[in-house]
Amino acid sequence: MPAANARTPLSGASLQPPPSYASTASSMKVTAATPPPSSILSRKNPFQYDSPIDTYEKVKIVVMCLLGVPLLRVLLLLVVVLCVVVVSHVALLGFQRVDPRTGEARALPAWRRWLAAPVPLLVRAGLFVVGYYWIPVTAPPGFDRSHRSLPRVIVSNHVSFVDGLFLLSYLAPSIAMKADVAALPLLGKVVQTTQPVLIDRATAAGRQRALREIAAHIAAPARPPLLVFPEGTTSTQGYLTQFKVGSFSSGVPCQPVLLRYPFAHFDVSWPPGVSGRYLALRLLCQVRNRLEVEFLPPYVPTRDEAAQPALYAENVRQAMARALGVACTNHAFEDVALLLDAAAGAYARAHVVPLTDAAEVARLTDLRGAGVARLVAHFAALDADRDGQLSLAEAARLFPDDDPALLARLFALVDADGSGQIDFRELCLALRALAAAGRDSSSDTDGDGRRRRDTRDNDDGDELLLRFAFRLYDLDGDGVLDARELERLLRFQQGFYGAEPQSVDALLGELRGAAAVSVEEFEALMRRQPALLAHARSKLEALRGEVRQ
């Protein structure tokens, strides 16, 4: 058990992160280079639950149920919960959390905090009842868990519903949590005894308000340190997902906490799609449950990190991942929303999340939220054998009247790794050209969940589309277009896609006499005749699930 009376080093010389943590801001920038194809990426799925009920577990569950252990634990838990609810309601009797004049959250007076003091002890009793009899805690020399000595921000990996309960019992912090939790009957008062920061993730205004409340809470030394799960969602134990930057925006030191749940047969991880009731039932049927806790040295940000919350958050995540011995992945809360989508969730869990993440899909396709879910559903509808990839025959269903040579060329362009199959990430890579072109208004989102771009993006976007069109028309892949190649394709689009005959004739007139057309010459011609890009654009629109009228 860590020393109880030692002072944190924050009161003296600050603990600087090791040199390996102090990466520069340039390392955080996303470059414009083409991302690697899916085939060279390792498949990472932090939301894949793999803890089946094997024969040993079945026998154990039957024996425990016959002995009445789960029922006894439930009855004891009800007693503990009743005590917690009574103590919380007494401590908060007549208290208004939000000041009606200012709209700001009020701090609990000292006498109310004394009345609520039994809550952490009762929570620990509840954990004991369900099998967490002994929870080993390791910490650096001089660690002191008193509120006076802890950094103002405590950050932890998020694995299970047990995480917050233990940290509440051990540190009695304030907790940043979803606003819905505070509205629960009976338990809402229990939550309020922690002086929480409530986060409404459904709206931009709610998220901005949460950032302000986090900053105000951190700046108020009279309030408890703020516990934050920066991943924003639970995942399996083998990964750390992307950290939200809100808790790092103040640039103050943080206290990293690592939670490990060693297991042989039952993993308590709670990724999306796994029933909480299912986990609770299995938890109650264990002889004992294991949790190990490790406090790392307080992380003091460098000047660069304090000025750049994203850099600070990423370096803390890397430090925690190294200590846990797990991998980092760019998946985030938005991926959970995709997994819970009724139309796309199951397919996304099996074939999308292992290859990419919602942030990358948004960056490549310009789609957000529901738009990403619709793209996944569209891809799944084409994938007849549900293997997560499109064959040429499956993709051809989108282009029943197209020239076979053109279709084969289009397929080869989208199939970035040359495997003969198109996976979802390869589709998104191809859609970069369409997403980057034609966005000429503000940077918010439209009704389809697509992010509009500023006019400054137009030149870059048009160049991507132009180069895609050139490669599409270059059927033999020799890097140049002859007049016959171009005429064959332009005549095809003339009727169906609405290109004016005079536009086609004018372009062909410019080409007569030229042995071949380079990509630069092609781009110059297309900029003078932009309507002729409709053919290439329509192919990408069909791949994205849009029908050109």
**Tens digits of per-residue pLDDT, 38-80?**
554 556 788 888 888 999 999 999 999 999 999 999 999 999 9
Tokens of 176: 């940043």
Please report how many Cα atoms fall inside a 13 Å half-sphere around the Cα of residue 366, on the Cβ side.
27
CA–CA distance, 144 with 135 (Å, rounded to integer):
17
Lowest mean pLDDT among 93-97, 179-183, 339-343: 339-343
Alpha helices, DSSP H, located in 172-293? 179-182, 187-192, 204-218, 276-284
Residue with tokens 């498949």: 43
CA–CA distance, 345 with 336 (Å, rounded to integer):
9
In this prediction, residue 230 carries a pLDDT of 94
pLDDT at position 549 over 80 = no
pLDDT at position 1 over 50 = no
In this prediction, residue 453 carries a pLDDT of 44
pLDDT at position 542 over 50 = yes
CB 338 within 8 A of CB 373: yes
**Residues 267, 386 within the same domain:** no
Cα 53 to chain center, whole Å?
28
**Residues 65, 166 within the same domain:** yes
Model confidence over 314-370: pLDDT tens digits? 999 999 999 999 999 988 877 887 777 767 778 888 888 888 888 888 888 888 878
Element (H, E) at 255: strand 254-260
In this prediction, residue 272 carries a pLDDT of 85
**Residues 349, 294 within the same domain:** no
Judging by DSSP bridges, how do beta strands 292-295 and 174-178 pair with one another? unpaired
pLDDT at position 294 over 80 = yes
Is the residue at 10 inside a domain? no
Which amino acid does the sequence have at 156? S
pLDDT at position 181 over 80 = no
Is the residue at 436 inside a domain? yes
CB 225 within 8 A of CB 147: yes
Where residue 303 falls among pLDDT bands split at 50, 70, 90? very high
**Residues 290, 373 within the same domain:** no
pLDDT at position 125 over 90 = yes
**Residues 132, 189 within the same domain:** yes
In this prediction, residue 401 carries a pLDDT of 79
**Residues 436, 514 within the same domain:** yes
Alpha helices, DSSP H, located in 157-229? 162-171, 179-182, 187-192, 204-218
CATH number at residue 465: 1.10.238.10
In this prediction, residue 490 carries a pLDDT of 66
- Torsion, CA 374, CA 380, CA 232, CA 254, rounded to 10: -110
Q: What letter does residue 367 receive in the DSSP assignment?
A: B
Please report how many Cα atoms fall inside a 13 Å half-sphere around the Cα of residue 392, on the Cβ side.
14
Is the residue at 315 inside a domain? yes
In this prediction, residue 385 carries a pLDDT of 92
Judging by DSSP bridges, how do beta strands 197-199 and 174-178 pair with one another? parallel
**Residues 295, 378 within the same domain:** no
Is the residue at 6 inside a domain? no
Last residue of a domain, one of 329, 352, 377: 329
Model confidence over 222-242: pLDDT tens digits? 899 999 999 988 999 999 999
Residue 209: Cβ within 10 Å count: 17
**Residues 352, 310 within the same domain:** no
Lowest mean pLDDT among 71-75, 179-183, 405-409, 439-443: 439-443
Last residue of a domain, one of 329, 352, 379: 329
Last residue of a domain, one of 329, 357, 390: 329
CB 362 within 8 A of CB 368: yes
Is the residue at 20 inside a domain? no
Model confidence over 500-540: pLDDT tens digits? 555 556 655 665 555 577 888 778 877 777 766 777 888 88
CA–CA distance, 167 with 293 (Å, rounded to integer):
9
3-state secondary structure of 184: coil
Residue 259: Cβ within 10 Å count: 21
CA–CA distance, 69 with 539 (Å, rounded to integer):
62
**Residues 323, 222 within the same domain:** yes
**Among 199, 223, 193, which residue's Cα sits nearest to residue 123?**
193
Which amino acid does the sequence have at 525? L
In this prediction, residue 8 carries a pLDDT of 34
Model confidence over 365-414: pLDDT tens digits? 888 878 888 899 999 999 999 999 999 999 999 888 777 888 898 999 99
Instruction: Find the domain containing 274 and state its range.
Output: 46-329
| Mean pLDDT of the chain, nearest integer | 81
Cα 276 to chain center, whole Å?
20
CB 272 within 8 A of CB 336: yes
**Residues 82, 191 within the same domain:** yes
**Among 180, 312, 313, 319, which residue's Cα sits nearest to residue 244?**
313
CB 246 within 8 A of CB 211: yes
Tokens of 6: 């030692």
pLDDT at position 473 over 90 = no
Is the residue at 86 inside a domain? yes
Structural domain count of the chain: 2
CA–CA distance, 369 with 354 (Å, rounded to integer):
18
pTM of the model: 0.75
CB 388 within 8 A of CB 395: no
Looking at per-residue pLDDT, the higher value among 416 and 122 belongs to 122
* For the chain, percent of residues with pLDDT exceeding 90: 42
Cα 387 to chain center, whole Å?
24
Is the residue at 25 inside a domain? no
- Torsion, CA 140, CA 146, CA 148, CA 154, rounded to 10: 60
Looking at per-residue pLDDT, the higher value among 199 and 511 belongs to 199
**Residues 276, 409 within the same domain:** no
**Residues 324, 347 within the same domain:** no
In this prediction, residue 283 carries a pLDDT of 96
Is the residue at 138 inside a domain? yes
